[in-house]
Amino acid sequence: MKTEKIRTDILIIGGGTAGCYAAVTAAENSDKNILICEKAHIKRSGCLAAGVNALNAYITEGRTPQDYVDYCMKDAAGIAREDLLLSLSERLNAVTERLEKEGLVILKDAKGKYVTRGNRNIKINGENIKPLLAGMAERQKNVRILNRVNIIDISVTGNRVNGAFGISIENDTFYVIEASAVLIATGGAAGLYRPNNPGFSRHKMWYCPFNTGAGYAMGIRHGAEMTTFEMRFIALRCKNTIAPTGTLAQGVGAKQVNALGEVYEQKYGLTTSERVYGTVNENVQGRGPCYLRTSGITEEQEQSLLKAYLNMAPSQTLHWAESGEMPSGHDVEIEGTEPYIVGGHTASGFWVDTDRATTIPGLYAAGDAAGGAPQKYVTGALAEGEIAALAMCRYLENGAAGKIPEEEIALRENEISGFLSNGDSPYTAEQLEEAMQTAMDSYAGGIGTNYRFSEKTLDEADRRIVQLQRLSDTLHAGDMQELMYIYELRERLTVCRTVIAHLKARQETRWHCFAENTDYPERDDVKWSVFVNSRFENGNTEIILRRVKTP
Amino acid sequence: MSIEINKQKCVGCGKCRDVCPGTLIALDENKRAYIKYPRDCWGCTSCLKECPVQAIRFYLGADMGGTGSRMHTLKRGELLDWIIEFPDGGITTVTVDTKESNKY
């Protein structure tokens, strides 16, 4: 393994939605050198690999950014940051128009106006949205892209970020990257909990299975303040294929019905967590399975659905075709997914200011990595990438160049050669990953317990995760890809501990399923209208409660 | 759910390997692509769309209700054909106009 040192002004960790857009923004607004490190290849990496069906965050005619903020605050039951939501909402339409200019197909009416789906969504053909974004980044002269380079950690010394360390999966290289500002755009965390299809199809999940919580883990390790990890995200999805349900519910107006044919969604409410909770509860009460009632849709609607799913979740179209159970004649069974930590949907992530600056000077976060602003979706992630990029350019005007101490480089090289030369572990990263998912499922509110947990079960979860962390020290990597898998496992274990600490800290049940605490089954607005934040210090997760500002 | 790559058809261009968001595809000693980690496929179908010779088939795992059908894509200008081959030899094609928005 050789060591290569790189120097850049701005390092972007993760070339997904937020990362690509941040690179483009910084390149167009400065002459700084920008480096994207992407562990796969930016053309299709991250959440948008298969495409996306609609843009879910857009300010439609007659609505204002504040309306969008109000909707998000309500859906999050008050635990979100209005300042962050407003700053991204104000940019939603501009980033949308930019994407259209770059070639994104958006449905328009005869007068040339975008056709809306409900109050906040617009209809697109999003199959090629990621190649479009990647192309925009690739065309910038001052953007350099390193594909297949997995960042394993950031370097923080002298109370600021100085860069990061990476490994190349392709060419046996250890990268030492000195940077003056660093953007965490690594996405959220999938694979913490036992998934819906835990066998051969274990990666057929809602969220990108290659988003392993890397950025969260880097922040946690270095004592960054994190927020709202207890507000897990659980998606309501089509059974088996884990394909989206919004297209059926909002697109063709399919209602949630139980096995008796009763519409149950009004009984529980229509927020994201209530839709999942209702489905879980109908099953618990013996009225499952539950479905989206698509029976009776027209032939034309059915054909449109087949195409729509090919543009975002092709498995569902294949499933319909090969099972013969087409949606016009058969209702679509639905279920909740395993929990994820994902700041684009709930409020989990780095605690940031309106510049998307984290509590570590020089370190920024955007998209699913940044907390406090749920329901940001694709356009919100783009907006945050833009905000963070502009803020980093300003930061660079006064900031000194990052410098990584030689001792730290040597320590990292040792750590890596340790994993490459370890010999006596009976375990693999895969085995420990399964053990982690089982522990989280059983004791930290996974599918297996209908998302419920108690203080006692959380203690057991934590005990097991700590043990797995110790076992992960002894793992052996046969090549650089296996080395990446070890680091990914360790990232997930770090995130798991923070999730457990947050779940334990919030002594109420504010969001059904997302944080269903059986010791405290009621919502308590007097005591718990607060953010649960945390800082990891000396091996402990210190909980910090912060007031939600009310205007 | 995963993919299979026909080594007889594969021309070794490496485009599927490059595009895979999970770095799951590799080239063997004869420069033919194969999926190294079949259980880790997300089902995004990026590789299908990259393959210039339609050597890659996508299928649903038996654990998620798959019945042995295989799907691949064929680009025809601005049209993208999604071709599903059933185990009994039947074929169905859904054509998507890439310049046309989803209706829902």
What ipTM describes this predicted complex? Answer: 0.97
CA atoms within 13 A on the CB side of B22: 26
> Least CB-CB distance to A481: which of B23, B61, B96?
B23
Tell me which residue of A84, A32, A136 sits closest to A370, measured CA to CA.
Answer: A84
In this predicted structure, the answer to whether residue A264 has a pLDDT above a threshold of 90 is yes
Q: What percent of chain A has pLDDT over 70?
A: 100
Distance CA A95, CA A104 (A): 11
CATH 3.30.70.20 corresponds to the domain B2-97: yes
CB atoms within 10 A of CB A269: 12
**Cis bond leading into A195, ω under 30°?**
no
In this predicted structure, the answer to whether residue A399 has a pLDDT above a threshold of 80 is no
Report the pLDDT averaged over residues A485-508: 98
Kindly report, residue by residue over B12-67, the tens digit of the pLDDT.
999 999 999 999 999 999 999 999 999 999 999 999 999 999 999 999 999 999 99
CB atoms within 10 A of CB B28: 12
Distance CA A294, CA A245 (A): 11
Strands (E) located in A352-444? 363-365
Contact B65 A200 (CB under 8 A): no
Residue A79 pLDDT: 97
Token pair belonging to B25: 């595809």
Beta bridge pairs of residue B56: B5
> Least CB-CB distance to A307: which of B2, B45, B94?
B94
In this predicted structure, the answer to whether residue A33 has a pLDDT above a threshold of 50 is yes
Report the pLDDT averaged over residues B77-82: 97
Q: How far is CA A283 from CA A206, A277, A287, A335, A429, in A?
A: 21, 10, 5, 10, 34
Contact B45 A106 (CB under 8 A): no
Residues in chain A closer than 8 A to B58 (CB atoms):
314, 318
Closest CA in chain B for residue A118: B104
Distance CA A387, CA A390 (A): 5
Domain segments of chain B as ranges: 2-97
Pairing of strands A530-537, A226-227: antiparallel
Instruction: Please tell me whether residue A246 adopts helix, strand or coil conformation.
Output: helix
CATH of domain A236-336: 3.90.700.10
Residue A117 pLDDT: 83
Tell me which residue of A319, A169, A175, A298 sits closest to A238, measured CA to CA.
Answer: A319
CB environment A444-467: b (16+ within 10 A), e (fewer): bbbbebebbbbeebbebbbebbee
CATH of A423-528, one of 1.10.10.10, 1.10.3720.10, 1.20.58.100, 1.10.357.10: 1.20.58.100
Residue A549 pLDDT: 75
Q: Which fold has domain A2-187+342-406?
A: FAD/NAD(P)-binding domain (3.50.50)
Kindly report, residue by residue over A114-167, the tens digit of the pLDDT.
999 888 999 999 999 999 999 999 999 999 999 999 999 999 998 899 999 999
Q: What percent of chain A has pLDDT over 90?
A: 94
Kindly report, residue by residue over A359-397, the tens digit of the pLDDT.
999 999 999 999 999 999 999 999 999 999 999 999 999
In this predicted structure, the answer to whether residue A550 has a pLDDT above a threshold of 60 is no
**A349: alpha, beta or left, given left = phi > 0 and alpha = psi -120 to 50?**
left
> Least CB-CB distance to B104: which of A240, A251, A314?
A251
Domain segments of chain A as ranges: 2-187+342-406, 236-336, 423-528
Contact B63 A197 (CB under 8 A): yes
Contact B94 A240 (CB under 8 A): no
Q: In degrees, to the nearest 5, what angle opens at C-alpha A194 toward C-alphas A191 and A200?
A: 85
Q: Which of A396-405, B75-84, B91-100 has the lowest mean pLDDT?
A: A396-405
Distance CA A482, CA A237 (A): 31
Contact B100 A105 (CB under 8 A): yes
Tell me which residues of chain A, numbers 45 to 74, contact chain B at a CB-CB cutoff of 8 Å.
45-46, 49-50, 53-54
> Least CB-CB distance to B43: which of A54, A106, A315?
A315
Residue A551 pLDDT: 46
Kindly report, residue by residue over A502-515, the tens digit of the pLDDT.
999 999 999 999 99
Q: Is the dihedral of CA A37, A41, A42, A47 positive or negative?
A: negative
CB environment A92-110: b (16+ within 10 A), e (fewer): bbebbebbeeeebbbbeee
In this predicted structure, the answer to whether residue A544 has a pLDDT above a threshold of 70 is yes
Q: How far is A155 from chain B (nearest CA, A)?
A: 26
Closest CA in chain B for residue A51: B44
What residues have CB less than 8 Å from B67, skipping those under 6 apart? A322, A323, B60, B87
Helices vs strands, H then E, count in chain A: 17, 21
In this predicted structure, the answer to whether residue A418 has a pLDDT above a threshold of 60 is yes
Q: Is the dihedral of CA A380, A386, A391, A395 positive or negative?
A: positive
Kindly report, residue by residue over A166-214, the tens digit of the pLDDT.
999 999 999 999 999 999 999 999 999 999 999 999 999 999 999 999 9
What is the pLDDT of chain A when averaged over all its residues? 96
Residue A328 pLDDT: 97
